[in-house]
Amino acid sequence: MTPDLAVRLGPLALPNPVMLASGTCGYGLEMAPHGDLSALGAVVVKGLSLLPSPGNPPPRIVETPSGMLNSIGLENVGLAAFLAEKLPKLRRLGARVVVNFYGGCRADYRELAARLDGAEGVHALEMNISCPNVKLGGLQLGQDPREAHRVVAAVRRATRLPLLVKLTPNVTDVRVIARAAADAGADALTLINTLQGMAIDVETRRPALARTVGGLSGPAIRPVAVRMVWQVRQALPIPIVGCGGVWTARDAIEFLLAGATAVQLGSVNFTHPGRWVEVVAGIGEYLRRHGVARAADLVGKLEPWA
Amino acid sequence: MLLTARSLRVLSSDFRLLDLGWPAGEPDPAPGQFVMVRTREGTDPLWRRPFGVHDFRRGRGGAVLSLLFQVVGPTTRELAACGKGAVVDVLGPHGRGFTLEAPEHWLVAGGRGLAPLYYLARLARRAGRPCRVFLGGREAGHVLRVPELERRGCAVEVSTEDGSRGRRGRVTELLERGLARASRRRRAGILVSACGPHGMLAAVASVCAAAGVRARVSVDPLMACGRGLCLGCTVRAGEGYRLACQHGPVFDAAELSWEAP
Protein backbone atom coordinates (compact mmCIF):
# COMPACT_ATOMS: atom_id res chain seq x y z
CA MET A 1 0.00 0.00 0.00
CA THR A 2 1.31 3.42 -0.93
CA PRO A 3 -0.10 5.93 1.54
CA ASP A 4 -1.71 9.10 0.25
CA LEU A 5 0.27 12.02 1.67
CA ALA A 6 -1.95 14.77 0.22
CA VAL A 7 -3.58 17.18 2.67
CA ARG A 8 -5.78 20.27 2.44
CA LEU A 9 -5.50 23.52 4.35
CA GLY A 10 -8.97 24.78 3.55
CA PRO A 11 -8.83 25.66 -0.15
CA LEU A 12 -5.07 25.01 -0.38
CA ALA A 13 -4.24 21.48 -1.57
CA LEU A 14 -0.76 20.14 -0.84
CA PRO A 15 0.81 16.93 -2.16
CA ASN A 16 2.21 16.24 1.31
CA PRO A 17 2.15 17.91 4.72
CA VAL A 18 5.74 19.21 4.74
CA MET A 19 6.41 22.91 4.26
CA LEU A 20 9.49 25.08 4.80
CA ALA A 21 8.99 27.84 7.36
CA SER A 22 9.34 31.49 6.51
CA GLY A 23 12.68 33.03 7.40
CA THR A 24 14.55 29.73 7.25
CA CYS A 25 14.64 28.98 3.53
CA GLY A 26 15.34 32.35 1.94
CA TYR A 27 13.08 32.90 -1.05
CA GLY A 28 12.93 29.17 -1.68
CA LEU A 29 15.47 29.34 -4.49
CA GLU A 30 18.31 28.86 -2.02
CA MET A 31 16.91 25.41 -1.18
CA ALA A 32 16.76 24.12 -4.75
CA PRO A 33 20.25 22.52 -4.60
CA HIS A 34 19.06 20.33 -1.73
CA GLY A 35 16.03 18.66 -3.29
CA ASP A 36 13.23 18.88 -5.82
CA LEU A 37 11.08 21.80 -4.65
CA SER A 38 8.06 20.45 -6.52
CA ALA A 39 8.16 17.44 -4.14
CA LEU A 40 7.62 19.68 -1.14
CA GLY A 41 4.22 20.48 0.31
CA ALA A 42 5.03 24.16 -0.05
CA VAL A 43 7.75 26.70 0.54
CA VAL A 44 6.89 29.71 2.71
CA VAL A 45 9.16 32.51 1.59
CA LYS A 46 10.91 35.08 3.74
CA GLY A 47 8.47 37.60 5.24
CA LEU A 48 7.88 40.43 2.80
CA SER A 49 7.16 44.08 3.50
CA LEU A 50 6.02 46.68 0.98
CA LEU A 51 9.47 48.26 0.86
CA PRO A 52 12.83 46.53 1.33
CA SER A 53 13.87 46.26 4.97
CA PRO A 54 17.50 46.22 6.18
CA GLY A 55 16.66 44.35 9.40
CA ASN A 56 18.18 44.84 12.84
CA PRO A 57 21.79 45.60 13.83
CA PRO A 58 24.17 42.73 14.65
CA PRO A 59 24.64 40.61 16.65
CA ARG A 60 21.39 39.04 15.49
CA ILE A 61 21.67 35.36 16.41
CA VAL A 62 22.91 33.24 19.28
CA GLU A 63 22.77 29.53 19.95
CA THR A 64 20.99 28.23 23.06
CA PRO A 65 20.45 24.66 24.32
CA SER A 66 18.77 22.83 21.40
CA GLY A 67 17.59 26.18 20.13
CA MET A 68 18.55 29.58 18.81
CA LEU A 69 17.59 33.16 19.47
CA ASN A 70 17.27 35.60 16.61
CA SER A 71 16.51 39.24 16.13
CA ILE A 72 16.90 39.44 12.36
CA GLY A 73 14.11 42.01 12.18
CA LEU A 74 12.45 40.71 9.03
CA GLU A 75 15.16 41.81 6.62
CA ASN A 76 13.79 41.32 3.11
CA VAL A 77 14.03 42.56 -0.48
CA GLY A 78 10.53 44.07 -0.52
CA LEU A 79 7.46 43.12 -2.53
CA ALA A 80 8.50 44.55 -5.92
CA ALA A 81 11.88 42.77 -6.02
CA PHE A 82 10.26 39.52 -4.92
CA LEU A 83 7.68 39.67 -7.68
CA ALA A 84 10.17 40.69 -10.36
CA GLU A 85 13.22 38.60 -9.47
CA LYS A 86 12.36 35.71 -7.16
CA LEU A 87 8.86 34.54 -8.01
CA PRO A 88 9.43 33.79 -11.73
CA LYS A 89 12.33 31.47 -10.83
CA LEU A 90 10.26 29.73 -8.15
CA ARG A 91 7.51 29.14 -10.69
CA ARG A 92 9.99 27.49 -13.03
CA LEU A 93 11.09 25.15 -10.22
CA GLY A 94 7.52 23.98 -9.72
CA ALA A 95 7.30 24.98 -6.08
CA ARG A 96 4.01 25.66 -4.37
CA VAL A 97 4.61 29.12 -2.99
CA VAL A 98 3.15 30.55 0.19
CA VAL A 99 4.11 34.18 0.67
CA ASN A 100 4.62 35.31 4.23
CA PHE A 101 4.13 39.06 4.69
CA TYR A 102 3.88 41.72 7.36
CA GLY A 103 3.07 45.40 7.64
CA GLY A 104 3.51 48.31 9.98
CA CYS A 105 -0.22 49.04 9.96
CA ARG A 106 -3.51 47.60 8.69
CA ALA A 107 -3.25 49.48 5.38
CA ASP A 108 0.15 47.89 4.69
CA TYR A 109 -1.25 44.42 5.26
CA ARG A 110 -4.20 45.14 3.00
CA GLU A 111 -2.05 46.54 0.20
CA LEU A 112 0.40 43.64 0.33
CA ALA A 113 -2.44 41.12 0.20
CA ALA A 114 -4.12 42.91 -2.70
CA ARG A 115 -0.94 43.11 -4.77
CA LEU A 116 -0.03 39.48 -4.10
CA ASP A 117 -3.55 38.39 -5.00
CA GLY A 118 -2.90 38.81 -8.69
CA ALA A 119 0.63 37.44 -8.78
CA GLU A 120 1.00 34.32 -10.93
CA GLY A 121 2.56 31.47 -9.01
CA VAL A 122 1.49 32.52 -5.51
CA HIS A 123 -0.59 29.67 -4.09
CA ALA A 124 -1.42 31.12 -0.67
CA LEU A 125 -0.57 33.88 1.79
CA GLU A 126 0.68 33.64 5.34
CA MET A 127 0.12 36.76 7.44
CA ASN A 128 2.72 37.35 10.10
CA ILE A 129 1.04 39.07 13.04
CA SER A 130 3.52 37.60 15.45
CA CYS A 131 7.12 38.69 14.92
CA PRO A 132 8.78 39.76 18.18
CA ASN A 133 11.62 41.53 16.40
CA VAL A 134 10.02 44.55 14.74
CA LYS A 135 8.78 47.76 16.31
CA LEU A 136 5.60 48.19 14.29
CA GLY A 137 2.91 45.66 13.59
CA GLY A 138 3.97 42.14 14.46
CA LEU A 139 3.59 41.14 18.03
CA GLN A 140 1.17 43.83 19.21
CA LEU A 141 -1.36 42.80 16.57
CA GLY A 142 -0.94 39.17 17.46
CA GLN A 143 -1.50 39.68 21.17
CA ASP A 144 -4.71 41.70 20.97
CA PRO A 145 -7.72 39.69 19.73
CA ARG A 146 -9.65 42.74 18.54
CA GLU A 147 -6.68 44.09 16.57
CA ALA A 148 -5.97 40.62 15.21
CA HIS A 149 -9.58 40.29 14.05
CA ARG A 150 -9.52 43.69 12.36
CA VAL A 151 -6.29 43.14 10.44
CA VAL A 152 -7.17 39.58 9.37
CA ALA A 153 -10.62 40.74 8.24
CA ALA A 154 -9.04 43.56 6.23
CA VAL A 155 -6.70 41.12 4.49
CA ARG A 156 -9.52 38.64 3.95
CA ARG A 157 -11.44 41.30 2.02
CA ALA A 158 -8.33 42.11 -0.04
CA THR A 159 -7.54 38.61 -1.33
CA ARG A 160 -9.17 35.46 -2.62
CA LEU A 161 -6.01 33.45 -2.05
CA PRO A 162 -5.97 30.84 0.73
CA LEU A 163 -5.03 32.73 3.87
CA LEU A 164 -2.89 31.37 6.69
CA VAL A 165 -2.35 33.44 9.83
CA LYS A 166 0.81 32.85 11.83
CA LEU A 167 0.26 33.29 15.55
CA THR A 168 2.56 34.14 18.41
CA PRO A 169 2.97 31.87 21.44
CA ASN A 170 3.69 34.95 23.58
CA VAL A 171 0.13 35.14 24.94
CA THR A 172 -1.66 33.75 27.96
CA ASP A 173 -4.20 31.75 25.97
CA VAL A 174 -3.47 31.15 22.30
CA ARG A 175 -7.05 29.97 21.70
CA VAL A 176 -8.38 33.52 22.12
CA ILE A 177 -6.25 34.89 19.26
CA ALA A 178 -6.82 31.74 17.22
CA ARG A 179 -10.58 32.22 17.45
CA ALA A 180 -10.29 35.90 16.48
CA ALA A 181 -8.26 35.02 13.38
CA ALA A 182 -10.60 32.17 12.41
CA ASP A 183 -13.70 34.34 12.86
CA ALA A 184 -12.12 37.03 10.68
CA GLY A 185 -11.78 34.63 7.77
CA ALA A 186 -8.45 32.83 8.07
CA ASP A 187 -8.40 29.52 6.18
CA ALA A 188 -5.71 28.03 8.43
CA LEU A 189 -3.50 28.97 11.36
CA THR A 190 0.26 28.51 11.65
CA LEU A 191 1.28 27.69 15.20
CA ILE A 192 3.78 28.88 16.44
CA ASN A 193 6.12 31.76 15.76
CA THR A 194 9.13 32.19 18.07
CA LEU A 195 8.97 32.51 21.84
CA GLN A 196 10.49 35.64 23.32
CA GLY A 197 13.80 34.86 24.96
CA MET A 198 17.09 36.35 26.04
CA ALA A 199 20.69 35.29 26.50
CA ILE A 200 23.61 37.09 28.15
CA ASP A 201 27.35 36.96 27.44
CA VAL A 202 28.64 36.75 31.01
CA GLU A 203 32.20 37.74 30.03
CA THR A 204 31.16 41.06 28.48
CA ARG A 205 27.99 41.29 30.65
CA ARG A 206 26.13 42.33 27.52
CA PRO A 207 22.99 40.81 26.06
CA ALA A 208 23.98 38.31 23.39
CA LEU A 209 21.72 40.11 20.89
CA ALA A 210 22.02 43.80 20.01
CA ARG A 211 18.28 44.20 20.60
CA THR A 212 18.58 42.36 23.94
CA VAL A 213 15.49 40.18 23.43
CA GLY A 214 14.85 37.87 20.48
CA GLY A 215 12.77 34.98 19.26
CA LEU A 216 13.58 31.44 20.40
CA SER A 217 13.19 28.63 17.87
CA GLY A 218 14.39 25.07 17.37
CA PRO A 219 13.73 21.80 19.17
CA ALA A 220 13.78 23.64 22.52
CA ILE A 221 10.31 25.05 21.77
CA ARG A 222 8.72 21.95 20.26
CA PRO A 223 6.81 20.88 23.39
CA VAL A 224 5.30 24.37 23.64
CA ALA A 225 4.29 24.30 19.97
CA VAL A 226 2.78 20.82 20.21
CA ARG A 227 0.79 21.86 23.26
CA MET A 228 -0.58 24.96 21.52
CA VAL A 229 -1.51 23.00 18.38
CA TRP A 230 -3.35 20.50 20.55
CA GLN A 231 -5.14 23.25 22.52
CA VAL A 232 -6.34 25.04 19.37
CA ARG A 233 -7.34 21.72 17.76
CA GLN A 234 -9.60 21.01 20.75
CA ALA A 235 -11.18 24.46 20.55
CA LEU A 236 -11.62 25.12 16.81
CA PRO A 237 -12.21 23.16 13.59
CA ILE A 238 -9.83 25.33 11.50
CA PRO A 239 -6.82 23.58 9.86
CA ILE A 240 -3.55 24.10 11.69
CA VAL A 241 0.04 24.13 10.45
CA GLY A 242 2.40 23.03 13.22
CA CYS A 243 5.73 24.83 13.41
CA GLY A 244 8.44 24.74 16.06
CA GLY A 245 11.48 22.52 16.29
CA VAL A 246 10.60 19.80 13.78
CA TRP A 247 13.91 17.97 13.31
CA THR A 248 12.80 14.53 12.10
CA ALA A 249 9.80 12.74 10.63
CA ARG A 250 8.99 11.58 14.15
CA ASP A 251 8.63 15.22 15.25
CA ALA A 252 6.37 15.96 12.29
CA ILE A 253 4.14 13.02 13.19
CA GLU A 254 3.91 14.32 16.74
CA PHE A 255 2.42 17.55 15.37
CA LEU A 256 -0.02 15.66 13.12
CA LEU A 257 -1.24 13.57 16.05
CA ALA A 258 -1.67 16.74 18.12
CA GLY A 259 -3.96 18.12 15.42
CA ALA A 260 -1.82 19.79 12.78
CA THR A 261 -2.76 19.10 9.16
CA ALA A 262 0.71 20.10 7.96
CA VAL A 263 4.04 21.06 9.48
CA GLN A 264 6.72 23.60 8.72
CA LEU A 265 10.44 22.89 9.01
CA GLY A 266 12.38 25.89 10.30
CA SER A 267 15.66 25.93 12.19
CA VAL A 268 16.52 22.47 10.91
CA ASN A 269 17.05 23.95 7.43
CA PHE A 270 20.13 25.75 8.75
CA THR A 271 21.82 22.55 9.91
CA HIS A 272 20.34 20.00 7.48
CA PRO A 273 19.26 21.83 4.32
CA GLY A 274 17.88 18.69 2.64
CA ARG A 275 16.05 17.33 5.66
CA TRP A 276 12.60 17.92 4.14
CA VAL A 277 13.15 15.03 1.74
CA GLU A 278 13.74 12.65 4.67
CA VAL A 279 10.76 14.00 6.60
CA VAL A 280 8.38 13.44 3.66
CA ALA A 281 9.72 9.91 3.22
CA GLY A 282 9.59 9.25 6.97
CA ILE A 283 5.93 10.23 7.21
CA GLY A 284 5.12 7.84 4.38
CA GLU A 285 7.06 5.06 6.06
CA TYR A 286 5.23 5.66 9.35
CA LEU A 287 1.85 5.53 7.62
CA ARG A 288 2.78 2.25 5.94
CA ARG A 289 4.06 0.76 9.18
CA HIS A 290 0.88 1.69 11.03
CA GLY A 291 -1.50 0.75 8.21
CA VAL A 292 -2.84 4.29 7.83
CA ALA A 293 -4.03 5.00 4.29
CA ARG A 294 -3.84 8.80 4.26
CA ALA A 295 -1.77 11.41 6.09
CA ALA A 296 -5.03 13.28 6.66
CA ASP A 297 -6.28 10.28 8.66
CA LEU A 298 -3.53 10.84 11.22
CA VAL A 299 -4.51 14.43 12.03
CA GLY A 300 -5.60 14.80 15.64
CA LYS A 301 -5.54 11.04 16.23
CA LEU A 302 -4.03 11.41 19.68
CA GLU A 303 -5.01 8.51 21.90
CA PRO A 304 -6.16 9.96 25.22
CA TRP A 305 -5.31 8.33 28.52
CA ALA A 306 -8.32 6.53 29.89
CA MET B 1 28.75 15.18 2.57
CA LEU B 2 30.62 12.75 4.75
CA LEU B 3 34.41 13.11 4.81
CA THR B 4 36.81 10.56 6.27
CA ALA B 5 39.67 11.62 8.53
CA ARG B 6 43.11 10.85 7.13
CA SER B 7 45.22 12.15 10.01
CA LEU B 8 45.17 14.39 13.05
CA ARG B 9 48.23 16.33 14.19
CA VAL B 10 48.73 18.02 17.55
CA LEU B 11 50.29 21.43 16.86
CA SER B 12 50.32 22.72 20.45
CA SER B 13 48.40 22.20 23.67
CA ASP B 14 45.11 23.40 22.19
CA PHE B 15 45.62 23.53 18.42
CA ARG B 16 45.10 20.63 16.03
CA LEU B 17 45.41 20.01 12.28
CA LEU B 18 42.91 17.58 10.78
CA ASP B 19 43.23 16.16 7.25
CA LEU B 20 40.00 14.97 5.63
CA GLY B 21 39.58 13.12 2.35
CA TRP B 22 37.76 15.31 -0.21
CA PRO B 23 35.31 13.49 -2.51
CA ALA B 24 36.13 13.11 -6.17
CA GLY B 25 34.04 15.40 -8.34
CA GLU B 26 33.63 18.12 -5.71
CA PRO B 27 35.08 21.50 -6.70
CA ASP B 28 38.32 22.75 -5.18
CA PRO B 29 37.78 25.29 -2.40
CA ALA B 30 39.37 28.71 -2.88
CA PRO B 31 41.60 30.21 -0.17
CA GLY B 32 39.41 32.11 2.30
CA GLN B 33 36.34 29.92 1.72
CA PHE B 34 34.92 27.92 4.61
CA VAL B 35 33.07 24.69 5.32
CA MET B 36 30.24 24.02 7.80
CA VAL B 37 31.04 21.07 10.06
CA ARG B 38 28.98 18.80 12.29
CA THR B 39 30.43 16.03 14.41
CA ARG B 40 27.39 14.38 16.00
CA GLU B 41 23.71 13.62 15.72
CA GLY B 42 21.29 15.41 17.98
CA THR B 43 20.46 19.04 18.55
CA ASP B 44 22.99 20.29 21.06
CA PRO B 45 24.97 21.93 19.57
CA LEU B 46 22.23 22.90 17.15
CA TRP B 47 24.33 24.53 14.47
CA ARG B 48 27.20 23.35 12.35
CA ARG B 49 30.40 25.27 12.95
CA PRO B 50 32.26 27.21 10.23
CA PHE B 51 35.95 26.42 9.61
CA GLY B 52 38.16 28.27 7.14
CA VAL B 53 39.88 26.02 4.61
CA HIS B 54 43.39 25.78 6.03
CA ASP B 55 44.83 23.90 3.09
CA PHE B 56 43.70 21.88 0.11
CA ARG B 57 45.76 19.54 -2.05
CA ARG B 58 45.17 17.12 -4.85
CA GLY B 59 47.51 14.16 -5.04
CA ARG B 60 47.73 10.54 -6.11
CA GLY B 61 45.73 9.40 -3.11
CA GLY B 62 42.93 11.87 -3.88
CA ALA B 63 42.21 15.35 -2.61
CA VAL B 64 42.70 16.40 1.01
CA LEU B 65 41.09 19.25 2.93
CA SER B 66 42.96 20.44 6.03
CA LEU B 67 41.29 22.17 8.95
CA LEU B 68 43.28 23.97 11.62
CA PHE B 69 41.39 24.60 14.83
CA GLN B 70 41.66 25.55 18.47
CA VAL B 71 39.92 23.21 20.89
CA VAL B 72 37.32 25.47 22.49
CA GLY B 73 33.90 23.79 22.52
CA PRO B 74 32.02 20.55 21.91
CA THR B 75 32.51 20.43 18.13
CA THR B 76 36.25 21.14 18.26
CA ARG B 77 36.66 18.70 21.16
CA GLU B 78 35.08 16.00 19.02
CA LEU B 79 37.16 16.95 15.98
CA ALA B 80 40.22 16.68 18.22
CA ALA B 81 39.21 13.10 18.99
CA CYS B 82 38.89 12.11 15.32
CA GLY B 83 41.20 9.21 14.67
CA LYS B 84 42.05 7.99 11.17
CA GLY B 85 38.86 6.76 9.55
CA ALA B 86 36.49 8.90 11.63
CA VAL B 87 33.66 10.45 9.62
CA VAL B 88 32.84 14.17 9.69
CA ASP B 89 29.72 15.74 8.15
CA VAL B 90 30.68 18.75 6.04
CA LEU B 91 28.82 21.23 3.83
CA GLY B 92 30.61 23.59 1.51
CA PRO B 93 32.83 25.16 0.42
CA HIS B 94 30.95 28.40 1.03
CA GLY B 95 31.64 32.11 0.73
CA ARG B 96 33.96 34.39 -1.17
CA GLY B 97 37.64 34.08 -0.47
CA PHE B 98 40.92 35.94 -0.86
CA THR B 99 42.30 37.13 -4.16
CA LEU B 100 45.75 36.24 -5.46
CA GLU B 101 46.22 38.95 -8.03
CA ALA B 102 48.63 41.24 -6.09
CA PRO B 103 52.35 41.41 -6.92
CA GLU B 104 53.21 40.95 -3.21
CA HIS B 105 51.21 39.39 -0.37
CA TRP B 106 51.49 40.33 3.28
CA LEU B 107 49.46 38.18 5.67
CA VAL B 108 48.48 39.07 9.23
CA ALA B 109 47.20 36.27 11.49
CA GLY B 110 46.07 36.44 15.08
CA GLY B 111 46.14 32.99 16.75
CA ARG B 112 43.73 30.69 14.96
CA GLY B 113 43.33 33.43 12.36
CA LEU B 114 46.14 31.61 10.55
CA ALA B 115 43.57 28.96 9.60
CA PRO B 116 42.40 30.48 6.28
CA LEU B 117 45.69 32.26 5.49
CA TYR B 118 48.02 29.29 5.13
CA TYR B 119 46.38 28.10 1.90
CA LEU B 120 46.62 31.63 0.52
CA ALA B 121 50.33 31.79 1.45
CA ARG B 122 51.00 28.47 -0.28
CA LEU B 123 49.20 29.45 -3.47
CA ALA B 124 50.85 32.88 -3.51
CA ARG B 125 54.28 31.28 -3.25
CA ARG B 126 53.40 28.70 -5.88
CA ALA B 127 52.53 31.60 -8.18
CA GLY B 128 55.95 33.07 -7.46
CA ARG B 129 54.70 36.04 -5.47
CA PRO B 130 56.70 37.31 -2.47
CA CYS B 131 54.84 36.53 0.73
CA ARG B 132 55.47 38.00 4.17
CA VAL B 133 53.59 36.58 7.16
CA PHE B 134 53.04 38.32 10.49
CA LEU B 135 51.96 35.84 13.14
CA GLY B 136 50.64 37.00 16.49
CA GLY B 137 49.28 35.20 19.52
CA ARG B 138 48.70 35.55 23.22
CA GLU B 139 51.56 33.11 23.93
CA ALA B 140 54.08 30.92 22.13
CA GLY B 141 51.60 28.03 21.80
CA HIS B 142 49.33 30.23 19.70
CA VAL B 143 52.00 30.83 17.05
CA LEU B 144 51.56 28.07 14.52
CA ARG B 145 53.21 26.50 11.46
CA VAL B 146 56.23 28.79 11.26
CA PRO B 147 58.62 26.12 9.84
CA GLU B 148 56.15 25.14 7.11
CA LEU B 149 55.64 28.75 6.06
CA GLU B 150 59.39 29.39 6.00
CA ARG B 151 59.99 26.21 4.04
CA ARG B 152 57.66 27.55 1.37
CA GLY B 153 59.69 30.73 1.13
CA CYS B 154 57.54 33.03 3.26
CA ALA B 155 59.28 35.65 5.40
CA VAL B 156 57.79 35.15 8.87
CA GLU B 157 57.75 37.61 11.78
CA VAL B 158 56.30 36.66 15.14
CA SER B 159 54.95 38.54 18.13
CA THR B 160 53.27 37.39 21.33
CA GLU B 161 51.41 39.41 23.89
CA ASP B 162 53.31 37.80 26.77
CA GLY B 163 56.69 37.92 25.00
CA SER B 164 57.17 34.14 25.14
CA ARG B 165 58.03 34.05 21.42
CA GLY B 166 59.14 36.71 18.96
CA ARG B 167 58.61 40.35 19.88
CA ARG B 168 56.43 41.26 22.82
CA GLY B 169 53.36 43.15 21.68
CA ARG B 170 50.63 43.08 19.08
CA VAL B 171 51.03 41.66 15.61
CA THR B 172 49.69 44.85 14.06
CA GLU B 173 52.75 46.68 15.43
CA LEU B 174 54.92 44.40 13.27
CA LEU B 175 52.75 45.20 10.26
CA GLU B 176 52.90 48.93 10.95
CA ARG B 177 56.69 48.87 11.22
CA GLY B 178 57.03 46.80 8.08
CA LEU B 179 54.86 49.17 6.09
CA ALA B 180 56.71 52.20 7.42
CA ARG B 181 59.96 50.72 6.08
CA ALA B 182 58.55 49.91 2.66
CA SER B 183 58.91 52.48 -0.09
CA ARG B 184 55.81 54.15 -1.45
CA ARG B 185 56.32 52.31 -4.75
CA ARG B 186 56.54 48.94 -3.04
CA ARG B 187 53.46 49.65 -0.91
CA ALA B 188 51.43 50.15 -4.07
CA GLY B 189 52.02 46.49 -4.94
CA ILE B 190 51.27 45.03 -1.51
CA LEU B 191 47.96 43.40 -0.66
CA VAL B 192 47.47 42.75 3.06
CA SER B 193 45.21 39.79 3.94
CA ALA B 194 44.25 39.33 7.58
CA CYS B 195 42.28 37.07 9.88
CA GLY B 196 41.96 37.25 13.63
CA PRO B 197 39.95 38.90 16.40
CA HIS B 198 37.76 41.92 15.58
CA GLY B 199 40.13 44.34 17.35
CA MET B 200 43.09 43.07 15.36
CA LEU B 201 41.20 43.39 12.07
CA ALA B 202 40.14 46.93 12.97
CA ALA B 203 43.80 47.78 13.66
CA VAL B 204 44.89 46.22 10.34
CA ALA B 205 42.24 48.29 8.55
CA SER B 206 43.46 51.46 10.27
CA VAL B 207 47.19 50.81 9.72
CA CYS B 208 46.68 49.94 6.07
CA ALA B 209 44.42 52.92 5.41
CA ALA B 210 47.05 55.23 6.95
CA ALA B 211 49.78 53.66 4.80
CA GLY B 212 47.70 53.71 1.63
CA VAL B 213 47.85 49.91 1.29
CA ARG B 214 45.00 47.68 0.21
CA ALA B 215 43.75 45.26 2.87
CA ARG B 216 41.34 42.34 2.83
CA VAL B 217 40.03 40.80 6.04
CA SER B 218 38.27 37.54 6.85
CA VAL B 219 35.56 38.06 9.47
CA ASP B 220 34.10 35.48 11.83
CA PRO B 221 30.66 36.39 13.25
CA LEU B 222 28.31 33.74 14.64
CA MET B 223 26.82 31.76 11.76
CA ALA B 224 23.85 29.40 11.85
CA CYS B 225 23.64 28.19 8.25
CA GLY B 226 26.59 29.54 6.24
CA ARG B 227 24.43 29.85 3.11
CA GLY B 228 22.41 33.06 3.40
CA LEU B 229 19.29 31.48 4.87
CA CYS B 230 19.35 32.72 8.46
CA LEU B 231 20.62 36.27 7.79
CA GLY B 232 22.34 36.11 11.18
CA CYS B 233 26.00 36.66 10.26
CA THR B 234 25.65 40.32 9.31
CA VAL B 235 28.53 42.75 9.54
CA ARG B 236 28.27 46.52 9.26
CA ALA B 237 29.35 47.97 5.94
CA GLY B 238 28.94 51.69 5.46
CA GLU B 239 25.27 52.47 6.00
CA GLY B 240 24.05 48.91 5.60
CA TYR B 241 24.79 45.31 6.39
CA ARG B 242 26.57 42.55 4.53
CA LEU B 243 26.33 38.81 5.10
CA ALA B 244 29.62 37.23 6.12
CA CYS B 245 28.59 33.88 4.62
CA GLN B 246 27.57 35.14 1.17
CA HIS B 247 29.25 38.49 0.56
CA GLY B 248 32.30 37.40 2.60
CA PRO B 249 33.80 36.09 4.79
CA VAL B 250 36.57 38.05 3.04
CA PHE B 251 35.87 41.76 2.58
CA ASP B 252 37.88 44.82 1.58
CA ALA B 253 38.79 46.33 4.94
CA ALA B 254 37.68 49.74 3.69
CA GLU B 255 34.20 48.39 2.93
CA LEU B 256 33.41 47.54 6.57
CA SER B 257 32.60 49.78 9.52
CA TRP B 258 35.06 49.34 12.34
CA GLU B 259 33.37 51.02 15.29
CA ALA B 260 33.21 48.87 18.45
CA PRO B 261 30.52 46.16 18.06
Which of A23, A61, A219 has its CB closest to that of B222?
A61
Q: Exposed, middle or buried, A276 (CB in 10 Å: 0-12/13-18/19+)?
A: buried
Which of A30, A31, A267 has its CB closest to that of B46?
A267
**Is the minimum CB–CB distance between A233 and chain B shorter than 8 Å?**
no
Q: How many other C-beta atoms are found inside a 10 Å radius of the C-beta of residue A92?
A: 12
Give the Å distances, CA to CA, from B167 to A153, B68, B112.
70, 24, 18
Pick the residue from chain A with its C-alpha nearest to B226.
A270
Task: Flag if B224 and A63 touch (Cβ within 8 Å).
Answer: yes
ipTM of this complex prediction, to 2 decimal places: 0.94
Q: Which residues of B touch A72 (CB under 8 A)?
A: 230-232
Distance of CA B234 to the CA centre of its chain: 18
Closest CA to A5 of A261, A207, A304, A190: A261
Q: How many other C-beta atoms are found inside a 10 Å radius of the C-beta of residue A20?
A: 28
Q: What are phi and psi of A212, to 5 degrees?
A: 70, -55
Is A25 labeled as catalytic in the residue annotation?
A: no
Can you give the pTM of this predicted structure? 0.95
SS3 A221: helix
Q: Show pLDDT as tens, one digit a residue, over chain A (306 residues).
A: 799 999 999 999 999 999 999 999 999 999 999 999 999 999 999 999 999 999 999 999 999 999 999 999 999 999 999 999 999 999 999 999 999 999 988 999 999 999 999 899 999 999 999 866 555 555 678 899 999 999 999 999 999 999 999 999 999 999 999 999 999 999 999 999 999 999 999 999 999 999 999 999 999 999 999 999 999 999 999 999 999 999 999 999 999 999 999 999 999 999 999 999 999 999 999 999 999 999 999 999 999 898
CA-based nearest distance A71→chain B, Å: 8
Q: Which residues of A touch B240 (CB under 8 A)?
A: 54
**Is the minimum CB–CB distance between A271 and chain B shorter than 8 Å?**
yes
**Is the minimum CB–CB distance between A33 and chain B shorter than 8 Å?**
no
Which of B38, B228, B241 has its CB closest to that of A26?
B228
